[in-house]
Amino acid sequence: MMNSLFSSFDPTSSLKQMNWMMMTSTMIILPMNFWMKKSRWNTLKTNTTKFIKKEMLSNSKHKEIIMMACSLFMLIMINNLMGLFPYTFTPTSHMSISMTMALPMWMMMMMYSWINFTNKMFLHLLPQNTPSMIMPMMIVIETTGLIIRPISLSVRLMANMIAGHLLMTLLGDMNQNMFLLTTPLKMILMSFESSISIIQAYVFSTLITLYSSEIP
């Protein structure tokens, strides 16, 4: 039971799954420069990117980070949505993929900020008006929170993707006699999962820009 339940998250469990090739779906879908006129998908992509960029400009002043966060948003959203199709694999449900996106961004911001703004970054570890008695404890807490940021980013994305897929797998394995009962639940869950796929991409990219706002 457990093997079949978690088999959808095993990239080598079935030949029917597209496995890690799903990561290339973004490169197949996004290029739209071959058309003579702009398609509706191109218009939707452009409007979505503009909206996300406008939202992130209020979180960070670093335009380079905002551009990278917009690219991450499109990458994560498309992979999340493509993973909802039958016989497809969801790369973002694996720690290896989500950590690969979170850790380099975090390392890049930390290395840049600590090398160029060392004194100001030390000030971030100690909030203003902190009593002298708890200063050492606050420094330890702030340092720990700073270190676990890439872990929290990747685990949040992975856990949300796994939870919804497990629910759909459980409903799909139910008795066919309960078809009339499970079909409305599957439709509701599918709509819910579609919104979760977009929200998690938005949360991931927004948190990246919020972390970059601490860089002087």
In this structure, what token pair is assigned to residue 102?
Answer: 């979170």
- The reported pTM is 0.77
**SS3 readout for the chain:** CHHHHCHHHCCCCCCCCCHHHHHHHHHHHCCCCCCCCCCHHHHHHHHHHHHHHHHHHCCCCCHHHHHHHHHHHHHHHHHHHHCCCCCCCCHHHCHHHHHHHHHHHHHHHHHHHHHHCHHHHHHHCCCCCCCHHHHHHHHHHHHHHHHCHHHHHHHHHHHHHHHHHHHHHHHHCCCHHHHHHHHHHHHHHHHHHHHHHHHHHHHHHHHHHHHHCCCC
Cβ neighbours for 208, distance < 8 A, ≥ 6 positions apart:
65, 68, 69, 72, 105, 153
d(CA 23, CA 133): 50
Residues 155 and 97 sit within 8 Å (Cβ to Cβ): no
Angle among Cα 202, 153, 10 to the nearest 5 degrees reads 95
pLDDT, mean of residues 27-51: 70
pLDDT, mean of residues 29-54: 72
Cβ neighbours for 27, distance < 8 A, ≥ 6 positions apart:
none
pLDDT, mean of residues 163-192: 74
Asked if residue 88 has pLDDT above 50, the reply is yes
pLDDT, mean of residues 62-82: 85
- 116-150 per-position pLDDT tens digit: 888 888 877 777 777 788 888 888 888 888 889 88
